[in-house]
Amino acid sequence: MWIGDSMSNQLIPVLSDTELHEIDREISHAPYRHAVAIDALKIVQAHRGWVSDESLKAIARHLEMSAEELDGIATFYNLIFRKPVGEKVILLCNSVTCWIKGYEKLEQQIGEHLGVTLGQTTSDNQYTFLPVTCLGACDKAPVMMVGDDLHENIDAMDLSKIFRSAKEAQA
Amino acid sequence: MNSSVLDKPLTRNVHPDKRPVNMAGYEANGGYQGLRGAMGKLSPAECLKIIQDSNLRGRGGAGFPTGMKWSFVPMENASPGHKYLICNADEMEPGTFKDRLLLECDPHQLIEGMILSAYTIQANIAYIFIRSEYLLASKLLREAIEDCYVKGYLGKNILGSDFSLDMYVHASAGRYICGEETALISSLEGKRANPRAKPPFPQVSGLWGRPTIVNNVETLCNIHHIIERGAEWFQSLGLTEDSGTKLYGVSGRVKNPGCWELPMGTPIREIIEDYAGGMEDGFKLRGFLPGGGSTDFLTNDHLDLAMDYDTIGKAGSRMGTGTMIILDDKTCPVGFVKNLVEFFARESCGFCTPCRDGLPWSAQVLDDIEQGHGREEDMITLGRQVEYIGAMGNTHCALAPGAMEPLASGLKYFREDFERHISGSACPWCDGGNH
C-alpha cells in the first residue's frame, strides 16, 4: 500500500501496523514525537533488516520531522544500517585487547572462510561482516557477535562450526 | 587474598555459572530490603547525606563524588516539573567488561539502586541507556522492570509512599561517544550524540532541559547497599582513603583474565598476579593501562601501588574504569597505541576540529611509523599533537584528551621502541612477534 507524499510528490510506503504500534508506544512516554527517532529507526530495522530511503521518509513523516534531519541521525549511529545487510551481521571486535589476542588474523580467516572483506555481504546474503567497538568481554578475547550471539575465545578452528550452526539455525 | 572475610556486596548474587538472579532469588537474598527500609522512613535529604558521607565516587571512570553530583539537583519547589535519573550502561571503553557482569547476573540490584537514587533526587522518570549489543542484559532488565511494577517497587506510590517512578530501557544504536554523559543525553533525546557545552550541567539542565543525573551501572549498584548498611560500613570496605569495593578487571596476555570485586585500594600486583594469575608463560609485563583505553600507561615500577583514584592519579594516570589492559613484551607498543588512537579517531563525533581532524592525523603518523615509513620529525609531530589535542579546553569534550593519554605516556615510557621503528624502517615485532 502506498500513499502520495504531497511535499516531494513521491510515493512512500506506509509503515506496517506492527511498526506503527511499536513506534507509537515509544512516543507515548516521550515529550515530543521526534524524540523517539532512534527507537523508530531501530524498530523499522528490526522488521526489515535495514532502513531504506523509503522507510526513512515514512518514519520521518510519522515523527513530523524532515527526512534529511532523520538521515543525519541515522547515519551517525553505526548500528543503523542505511544499506541492505545479510540475514545476520557479524560484529568483529577490533579494539585493543582483541588486537593483542590476534583479531587481525581472525579477520583475515573469517574473510577467507566467507569470501568477503569488512563491509561486505556474502553472495548468499547470509552474512554482513563489520567491525565493532570493544564488546565488553575482553577476558574472553578475541570475541565477535554473529546475529544475536556472542562468540568468545574464538579460534580459527571454531569458524566452520560457528557459521555452519548459524546457517542451520537460519534454515 | 582472603576471600572468606571479604565483603562483596556487588557480586554476592553472582553465580559461578553467571546465570541471572530473578526477582524471587533476589528477594530471598535480602533484595529490596534497602528500598523497603527507606520508603516512608528516610527523607530524600537523609538518603543524600548517607551517600555523601559514604564518599562513594563515580565508577564510570571520572571518579566524581556521587553525593556531591546529586547535591546540585534543585530540590523541593526550586524546579517544578520532571526530573530524570539515567543509568549509563553504554559500556564501550576499550578493555572494560565490568558492567556487563552486573547487568547480566543481577539486574534487580541495579534497579533497586536506581529507585533509591531517583527517590533521593526526587526524579520521577528513570532510563537505563544500554548499548545495543548487550541483548541479554536488555532483556533481563525489561523483565525485571515489569516484575517491579507488579510488586509495587515501580509505578505510582511505591510501597504506599507518595513517591512515584517510571523506568524505561533505551537500547542505543552504537557509537562510543554516547558514554559521555551530555552526548548520552543528546542521544536519548533522539539526536546525534554530540556532547554539550558545560555549564549548564545536566544536574540543572539535562534531558529535555530538565534536571538530570547520569550515573554508571556500578555506581548505582552500590546505592542500596550503602542506604541499607550505612556510610561507615561502606568506608570500612576500602583499604585506602577511597571507600567501598571496586570491580577490577585484567585482560591481555595473563593466565586468568577476568573481573573481580575487591576492596578499593587493592594493590595492583595482587590483582595481576593473584587474581589474573600473572603473565602467560613466555610473556613478560612491560606496561598496562590501569582503567581502560583512555588512561595513561603505567609500568612494572607501579605494581605495588594501591588501585584507587588518588594513588593512580598521583602516579600520572587515572584509575578510570578499573579494568586493566596489559602490554606484554611480545606486543608492539606502537601498534598498541595505534589501535587505540584509530579507535578514538573513528569514534569522534566530528563536532570539534582537534578531535575530528587531529585524531586521524595522529593515527596516520602512528601508522606510518608502524609500517616502517616513519621519519624522525614524526616524533616531534606526535609530541605537538599530544600537547594541542591532549589539553583539556582545546576540545569540546574529553574524548580527544583521553585518546592522547596512552599516546603521551607511550611516548614517555616506550620512546625507544618508537625510535627503533623509525631508525630501522620496520616494526621490530612484525617478524617473530605478535605484531
ipTM of the complex: 0.95
Single out the residue of B131, B127, B243, B238 nearest to residue A145, CA to CA.
B131
pLDDT at A79: 98
**pTM exceeds cut of 0.90:** yes
- A36 — contact with chain B (CB < 8 Å)? yes
pLDDT for residue A164? 77
Question: What is the reported pLDDT for A13?
Answer: 63
Nearest to A44 by CA among A74, A72, A69: A74
Question: Do A138 and B323 make contact, defined as CB atoms within 8 angstroms?
Answer: yes
Contact at 8 Å (CB) between B303 and B297? no
Nearest to B95 by CA among B231, B369, B297, B289: B289
Query: Is residue B393 left, alpha or beta, with left meaning phi > 0 and alpha meaning psi from -120 to 50?
Result: left
Q: Is B133 on the interface with A (CB under 8 A)?
A: yes
User: Is A154 touching B (CB cutoff 8 A)?
Assistant: no
DSSP codes joined into one string, B140-187 = HHHHHHHHHHHHTSSBSSGGGSS--BEEEEEE----GGGGSHHHHHHH
Report the distance separating Cα B27 and Cα B40, nearest Å: 20
Rg for chain B, CA atoms, rounded: 22
Q: Say which residue the cell 563536532 belongs to.
A: B351
Touching A: B residues 283-312, CB under 8 Å:
293
Q: What is the CATH number of domain B245-328?
A: 3.10.20.600
Q: Which of B125, B135, B174 sits opposite A78 (nearest CB)?
A: B174
- Residues of A within 8 A of B134 (CB-CB) are 136
Higher pLDDT, A59 or B79: A59
Q: Check CB contact of A88 with chain B, cutoff 8 Å.
A: no
Does any CB of chain A come closer than 8 Å to the CB of residue B172?
yes
Q: How far apart are the first and last CA of chain A?
A: 30
Three-class secondary structure of residue B18 per DSSP: coil
| pLDDT over 70, % of chain A | 88
Q: Who among B92, B95, B192 is closest to A96 (CB)?
A: B95
| Interatomic CA distance for residues B236 and A143, integer angstroms | 38
Assigned C-alpha cell, B78: 526550586
**Alpha helices for B274-396 (secondary structure H):** 309-314, 333-347, 353-356, 358-370, 377-390
Interface of A with B in 38-57 (CB under 8 A): 38-39, 41-42
- Whether domain A2-74 has CATH 1.10.1240: the reply is no
> In the 8-state DSSP scheme, what is residue A149?
E
Running DSSP on this structure, what letter comes out for residue B267?
Answer: B
Closest approach of A43 to chain B, Cα-based (Å): 11
Quote the minimal CA–CA distance from A114 to chain B in Å.
Answer: 23
Helix (H) or strand (E) holding B412: helix B399-413
For B272-306, give the DSSP string.
IIIIS-SBPTT--EEEEETTSTTS--B-GGGTTSB
Among A88-97, A114-123, B329-338, B387-396, which is the least confidently predicted range? Answer: B387-396
Residue A161 neighbours by CB distance under 10 Å: 11
Integer CA distances (angstroms), B152 to B10, B27, B146, B148, B161, in order: 24, 14, 10, 6, 10
Confidence of residue A112 (pLDDT cuts 50, 70, 90): very high
**Inter-chain touch B100–A136, beta carbons under 8 Å:** yes
Whether the CB-CB separation of A110 and A129 falls below 8 Å is answered with yes
List the domain boundaries for chain A. Answer: 2-74, 88-170
Cell of A63: 515523527
Listed by start position, the domains of chain B span 23-237, 245-328, 333-423
| B245 close to A (CB below 8 A) | no
Distance from CA of A40 to the nearest CA of B (A): 9
Q: Is it the case that residue A6 has pLDDT exceeding 90?
A: no
Q: Does A76 contact chain B (CB < 8 Å)?
A: yes
Q: How far apart are CA B235 and CA B232, in angstroms?
A: 5
The answer regarding whether domain A88-170 maps to CATH 3.40.50.300 reads no
3-state secondary structure of B423: helix
Contact (CB<8Å) A79/B293 = no
Cβ contacts of residue A26 below 8 Å, gap of 6+?
A36, A39, A40, A43
- Give me the residues of chain B with pLDDT under 50, please: 1-6, 432-433
Q: Is A138 helix (H, G, I), strand (E, B) or coil?
A: helix
pLDDT band at A10 (very low <50, low <70, confident <90, very high): low
Structure confidence at residue B2 (pLDDT): 38
We find that the CATH architecture of domain B23-237 is: 3-Layer(aba) Sandwich (3.40)
Going across the sheet that includes B323-328, the strands are: B258-263, B245-251, B323-328, B285-289
Average pLDDT over residues A109-123: 96
Look at residue B421 in the predicted model and tell me its pLDDT.
97
Distance CA A163, CA B79 (A): 55
Whether residue B67 contacts residue B56, with contact meaning beta carbons closer than 8 Å, is answered with yes
Pick the CATH number of B333-423 from 3.40.50.880, 1.20.1440.230, 3.40.50.2020, 1.20.1250.20: 1.20.1440.230
